[in-house]
Structure 1
């Protein structure tokens, strides 16, 4: 999982080179009717926390992807710490569990982040930011 988090960090920096400034909001579209917002919600010396969500209007909120990602600048890693507003993710889960999470749920959402960043990279030049 460490290699995956390092890859995600490199991809985030390609999309948002100025990711250590708090209270910035980046918006971009990846096609007709498919738009996203990345907000820097916290920034410290060694970490930044991003909120990533799809802002497509035609889709119900519970179906739109959203996640909270922590960037560790000293380790050069990006890790999903919350996905779909379900709370903090544990490293692994026993199965079965009350919330029916997969044993490797944290790893799976980090793979989703990697795939999403790969999908967005060709559109990185379309990113607009607001302070």
Structure 2
């Protein structure tokens, strides 16, 4: 005999609500820490390159007592230049154990940085944040499934995320 549990509706967040966004931030933190249990030193670039998968780069941009900001990107070898996509800036809130997308990079052909959220008048910000962080969540799980990791001997230091012309 099975006992059917009835949970009050307030225990579950509505999709794309503020509460579900906070849950998504927590899930992103967990997945990011699985991918990278220990963060690199500020300014360092780490690369993960499991066989048969595109290289994944992680760079710590800023670190404070309660937060860290990093950039995460794939690098695909495609002539004439490497393609860096997707490329996201992520802020980790250590005390709250949350991670959120701050910025998408390369959103236009010129490759300049654009805010990830909303229109200039501020409409749709929650929806845009939810969408960007849902993408991060799916991407992190994809990377973990590909065998990417920035732990132990599997992460190597890289010179730079951006290829230089010599």
> What interval of TM-score do these two structures reach, taking the shorter chain for normalisation?
0.7 to 0.9
Aligned residue among 47, 53, 71 for 2:92: 71
Q: Is this contact kept in 2: 1:93–1:103, CA < 8 A?
A: no
**Structure 2 residue corresponding to 1:94, chosen from 112, 123, 129:** 123
Q: Counterpart of 1:23 in 2: which secondary structure?
A: coil
How many matched pairs? Answer: 125
Q: Which has the larger radius of gyration?
A: 2
The TM-score with structure 1 as length reference comes to 0.78
Deviation at 1:40, TM superposition (A): 0.7
Deviations 1:1-52 (A, max 9, x none): 0010001001111111112732232211355362211111111100000101
Aligned to 1:2: 22
Specify every segment of 5 or more residues in structure 1 that has no aligned partner in the other structure, as ranges: 96-101
SS of 1:114 mapped into structure 2: helix
1:51, 1:66 within 8 Å by CA — same for their partners in 2? yes
**Length-normalised TM-score, structure 2:** 0.63
Task: Give the structure 1 partner of residue 43 of structure 2.
Answer: 23
Residues 105/48 of structure 1: CA separation in 2 closer, same or farther (3 Å cut): same
Aligned counterparts, 1:1-131, within 5 A: 1-19=21-39, 21-29=41-49, 32=52, 34-58=54-78, 64-84=85-105, 85-87=113-115, 89-90=117-118, 93-94=122-123, 104-122=127-145, 123-125=147-149, 127-130=154-157
Q: Provide structure 2 residue ranges, at least 5 long, that are not aligned to the other structure.
A: 1-20, 106-112, 159-166
Tell me the distance in 2 between the aligned counterparts of 1:31 and 1:108.
30
Q: CA deviation at 1:86?
A: 1.0
Partner SS, residue 65 of structure 1: strand
